[in-house]
Structure 1
């Protein structure tokens, strides 16, 4: 058994990682740590009944380093420092960061969207990412330091990369509108996240090209063959707890047919266990609780653009599920161990 500790276990992302660990046959839960939350984890995640009496401990590098794997479910900017301290104590530990600290490869993009000095890029936890040369799966298979993707970035990447890889689009002029569940905004007690503000309302955020996932999406789509430098990206908080529905409009090259679009998307995902082409337009209820992303694409009537739609659970395939899938690859075990494509509906 591989011992996996989780820092930030009281939060949504860290808590979801713990949920997946409870049913993984080859991983055992080590330390559950939090910055300020104390007491049994069941106080913060009542659904984790099998381990509800496990105590949250202070988030200290010395405690976390006594593990085979550490998963960091921390706010952006907090992972790099504690990762360095953990590695000084135990250089052989595997670390998976669920935050953004190690995702970007371009220091200027980090400074523009996050500010401050960029941390070292780690292996990107998206096995399905299309890239030239070594596959992302191969890179993950020998990586000990892994950066989980952003949930919004995952949805847009899955929706757009088949078109770019097939050469029917360059990526220029992409417009992405996402409906996002409130768990994607974190667990902090903020007025705009209260039920009285959220219920019955749709709230856009990160408007006007300011959202921090934009450079991550561009980085991914360039690897898939795109020439884009930016995109129009607007997420909208929807009154649901989980889920992302990304509607992505992509200009296509002249002469592209409906068959070209279907063939590109089917071929890209035909052998993927978790990212699947859907013959019907997907909904978030189809993927709730599952490590599944469903993608549907159709050529617009005027033949100038295609519309691709991706549905995924932001806490599973969007974050913690991608992390566990990539950890499996790093450990040399089947990537689907401990993960399911079966959702929960209605």
Structure 2
């Protein structure tokens, strides 16, 4: 038996990637497609999804979403909570996954400080690989959940890069400095002048500088779960002329350790992870394109005072929709890797 999946925000980048993965999943089938203002055949907005050609995009209505077993919400920040409440009234058994940020943060104060609106209820965080120092594992939490908050893409890359060092006691998690090269799909599909090809091609530009990026409290929350003592970090994402992908370079303070210790910590942390590979060569975003894979290379700096970790992910894959499908698999009791691949697309 296959389960129906409705997608809100089906015409956007994250929604489109979720649709692509659902369409290729053996236990899921695509249900109602919704969007804010877009209407008509889905191929007008997602022409690469040929198997879904002819399906119609409707307005975002709770009754349409509640018809399905699973609802994936790819809506603007702040929009998911209201829709969720209406879905719950109509179908309390519906498994709901939010691709936005509405339900990621446990701290209402952090949400209000970074997003400027009233905080919504925190949901189970959709990162199965999250290291938790205490309590049940993240996989156990997801297996018992019907409300899942998919992680942020930049937050995912930095978390994967930093949490093994913290969990192994090589770092307290303070003083972390991260620089990220980010593909333009991470900025969404809205038409804005700085996202035009004429502006982006041959160009690199930073954003969210000076501690203002909204993923910072999410990253701090993740690293605290691993045993870190940080509440903030220096994070500078840079838009670079590629469609999708993130290459995070994360500098982590450390002392009294060796390269062998670092490699052991990262290898042990991810030894049983189906989608995370620790490599001795520098990761490339092209190697994880279109996949749910994560490539990580940890190196102790020559002075022994910092660990530099590079991490490559597909921002739409493991950074968003892939993590959502992986979490859905766990919530449904399916094999975690179902419908997902660790292999990228090349050339």
Category of TM-score, reference length = shorter chain: over 0.9
- Distance, in Å, in 2 between the alignment partners of 1:97 and 1:136 is 17
- Distance, in Å, in 2 between the alignment partners of 1:59 and 1:275 is 35
Question: Is residue 2:163 matched to residue 1:161?
Answer: yes
Give 1:1-346 correspondences, 5 Å limit.
1-131=2-132, 132-253=134-255, 255-346=256-347
Runs of 4+ in 1 over 2 A off after TM superposition: none
- Distance, in Å, in 2 between the alignment partners of 1:232 and 1:222 is 16
- Distance, in Å, in 2 between the alignment partners of 1:31 and 1:278 is 41
Q: Which ranges of structure 2 fall in alignment gaps of 5 or more residues?
A: none
- Distance, in Å, in 2 between the alignment partners of 1:39 and 1:216 is 36
- Distance, in Å, in 2 between the alignment partners of 1:275 and 1:96 is 22
Q: Which ranges of structure 1 fall in alignment gaps of 5 or more residues?
A: none
**1:147-206 deviations in whole A, cap 9, x for unaligned?**
000000000000000000000100111000000000000000000000000000001000
- Distance, in Å, in 1 between the alignment partners of 2:36 and 2:242 is 27
The offset of 1:57, in angstroms, is 1.1
- Distance, in Å, in 2 between the alignment partners of 1:39 and 1:111 is 36
The offset of 1:279, in angstroms, is 2.1
**1:124-165 deviations in whole A, cap 9, x for unaligned?**
000000002100000000100000000000000000000000
Which secondary structure does the structure 1 equivalent of 2:308 belong to? strand
TM norm structure 2: 0.99
**1:237-264 deviations in whole A, cap 9, x for unaligned?**
01000000000000002x1111111100
Which secondary structure does the structure 2 equivalent of 1:4 belong to? strand
Q: How many residues align?
A: 345
The offset of 1:58, in angstroms, is 1.3
- Distance, in Å, in 2 between the alignment partners of 1:34 and 1:130 is 35
- Distance, in Å, in 2 between the alignment partners of 1:55 and 1:226 is 47
- Distance, in Å, in 2 between the alignment partners of 1:248 and 1:300 is 12
How much is the aligned-residue C-alpha RMSD, in angstroms?
0.6
The offset of 1:332, in angstroms, is 0.3
- Distance, in Å, in 1 between the alignment partners of 2:292 and 2:80 is 24
Q: Does the CA contact (< 8 Å) of 2:78 and 2:117 recur in 1?
A: no
Which secondary structure does the structure 1 equivalent of 2:46 belong to? coil
- Distance, in Å, in 2 between the alignment partners of 1:174 and 1:76 is 26
Which secondary structure does the structure 1 equivalent of 2:307 belong to? strand
Which secondary structure does the structure 2 equivalent of 1:279 belong to? coil
Which secondary structure does the structure 2 equivalent of 1:5 belong to? strand
- Distance, in Å, in 1 between the alignment partners of 2:151 and 2:34 is 22
**1:85-126 deviations in whole A, cap 9, x for unaligned?**
110111111100000000000111111100121000000000
Which secondary structure does the structure 2 equivalent of 1:21 belong to? helix
Which secondary structure does the structure 2 equivalent of 1:29 belong to? strand
Which secondary structure does the structure 1 equivalent of 2:18 belong to? helix
Q: Does the CA contact (< 8 Å) of 2:289 and 2:314 recur in 1?
A: yes
